[in-house]
Structure 1
Amino acid sequence: MKRWLAACLLALAGVLPGAVRANDAPPGLTWQGDFSQGGLVIGQAEPGLQIRLGERPVPVAGDGRFVFGFGRDEPASVPLYLTRNGHSEQVTLRVAVRSYDIQRIDGLPPAQVTPPPAMLERIRRENAKIAEVRQRNTPRQDFMQGWIWPVKGIVSGVYGSQRILNGEPRQPHFGIDIAAPTGTPVVASTDGEVVLAEQDFYYTGGTVIIDHGMGINAAYSHLQNVAVKVGQRVRQGERIGTVGATGRATGAHLDWRVNWFDVRLDPQRLLPKE
């Protein structure tokens, strides 16, 4: 346990491939984390400080804790605005830019590239549900516990990769795919509250989203079986479902994603180095 906790702290401190550690915290703040595209930063602020990352407000808990993340295509420099006692200052953060795998596939039947028109309303409705729960800002700080793999298997898809199908760029992959046999147990990567539990979404099939506090949430998709309900508190390592190939999946795997509100983080960079 001690070894695992030490590894988690090293990961949060940015001891990861490609992580940037050169952003010194301004007076009134301390922080540690991964100043890279897809990275997560956790910090502590003096009482009364207000923080904004670019155009995004950064919630600060009553104890001064705050957390923010960088998206897949975050620019190399991002303004951080600090306001205290009516006085504002700007700090420029340097963000490490990453390269991503781009794959081109041509000659696919149109139905495999674009969903049928009859499904568009269903897709919009389901996407709206997902977007709503990702805006939750709860005071819990379950994410401070650290993260574990939600399932054992082979990483078959990585964060940031993108496909161009029949010449049309598809949305980048915002999580990691872990291939495992159908029925393999999937567990919560850290403590939290289930805020979405659906057995049959068009794209993601069996889908669970867990709120870990302060805008941090994790999604588990393509589940064969959903074993939890909305409002249920789960513990790290607790079973939440099983691996499947539901929704728009071509084989049995778990698609695991972590967000800070609507900012897509790289789950693999949250895990301790083995």
Structure 2
Amino acid sequence: MRGMRCLLWALLAVGWLAGSGGVAGERPGGITLVGRLVQGGLVIGHAPGCTAVRLDGREIAMDEERRFVFGFGRDARRDHLLEAECAGRTVRRPLVVAERHFPIERVNGLPERSVTLPPEDLARRKREIAAIVRARAVHSDLEEVFAGFRRPAAGRISGVYGAQRVLNGKPRTPHYGLDIAARAGTPVVAPAGGIVRLVGDFLLEGRIIVIDHGMGVTSTLFHLKDIVVREGERVRQGQLIGHVGQTGRATGPHVDWRVNWGAVRIDPALALALAPAKAAP
């Protein structure tokens, strides 16, 4: 697996240079990308010698080693433009994002009030959504995202990213997480290191935690039985943060793990497939 990941780095680096019509010697260090250019994909890049990188005109933060991260949502369009300012030149690279076909996921037997919220719950729900948005909007200079991800819990995959959800026969928004079903009380660990930005007990998500991994990337975990860390606490990858539960809107014990790049919802399964991005020695 490690060899395949290294090969992917190499192929993507070659693809960048060939697509831009240049050769490696023309750009100090070259520019490499790793990750799948597909809907829901997370991509890590390295641009030594470059001072700025933009995706579709939006500047992307880089760390001191000139590493950066970007991603594409479930319904991302096909064509995008990545630009880099390198050695006084603007390097442009068109990116083609592959379309995916997502399954339909039917969930029946949910309490009707959790499918269609009654008016008295709407104000609470508005506050909870705002809290999640604020936690995911934090853009820190943490570099934990470059160390890669691990599964937050052992168990069976019971729900996948992108599936169109039909709840009690009513079509709803797609599912943006990776569901891992396990016995209640199964340990849940941090999928990557970072800082806890939100701990709460919400109407639909149940007990929820948001972890900031840096560079705009966050993990959100729902339906926990309990949470053993506090807001503002620094956690390491693999550290215990809680236990699998069935809180909020859930038909059985599981953890719903979500990954975001800012407001862009990423497929956690694709984040798991990324190799760690090492800094220069």
Q: Structure 1, unaligned stretches of length 5 or more?
A: none
Distance (Å, rounded) in 2 between the aligned partners of 1:212 and 1:98: 26
More helix as a share of residues = 2
1:173 aligns with 2:175: yes
- CA shift in 2, pair 1:109/1:258, >3 Å: closer
The count of aligned residue pairs is 263
Structure 2 residue identity aligned to 1:177: D
Q: How many Å separate the matches in 1 of 2:124 and 2:103? A: 30
The match for 1:211 is 212
How much identity, in percent, do the aligned residues show?
Answer: 44
Counterpart in the other structure of 1:10: 5
Instruction: Give the deviation of 1:122 after TM superposition.
Output: 0.8
Residues 106 and 43 (structure 1), Cα distance of their counterparts in 2 relative to 1, 3 Å cut: closer
Moved more, 123-132 or 23-32: 23-32
Whether the 8 Å contact between 1:12 and 1:41 is mirrored in structure 2 is: no
Q: 1:267–1:98: structure 2 CA closer, same or farther, 3 Å change rule?
A: same
Match of 1:136 among 138, 141, 145: 138
The one of 111, 134, 146 equivalent to 2:148 is 146
- Distance of 1:35 and 1:61 partners within structure 2: 22
Contact kept in structure 2, 1:11 and 1:271, CA below 8 Å = no
Deviation at 1:96, TM superposition (A): 1.4
Contact 2:196 2:211 in 1 (8 A): yes
Say which of 35, 38, 44 aligns to 2:37.
35
> Match of 2:227?
226
Q: Deviations over 1:165-203 (max 9, x none)?
A: 5775311111111111111110111211111111x1111
CA–CA distance in 2 between the matches of 1:33 and 1:111? Answer: 40
Aligned to 2:258: 257
Judged with a 3 Å threshold, the aligned counterparts in structure 2 of structure 1 residues 201 and 11 are, in CA distance, closer, same or farther, namely farther
1, 16, 22: which one aligns with 1:24: 16
> Residue type of the partner of 2:257?
W
Q: How does 1:52-71 map to 2 (within 5 A)?
A: 52-54=54-56, 56-71=58-73
* Consecutive unaligned residues in structure 2, runs of 5 or more: 21-26, 275-281
2:94 aligned residue: 92
Instruction: Report the TM-score when normalising by structure 2.
Output: 0.83
> What CA deviation, in whole Å up to 9, does each residue of 1:41-99 have, x standing for no partner?
11112445322222543112232111101111111221223446886564320111110
1:111 aligns with 2:113: yes
**Does the 8 A contact of 2:158 with 2:179 survive in 1?**
yes
TM-score by length of 1: 0.85
Q: Is the 8 A contact 2:192 2:238 kept in 1?
A: yes
CA drift at 1:103? 4.1
Distance 1:36 1:237 in 2: 28
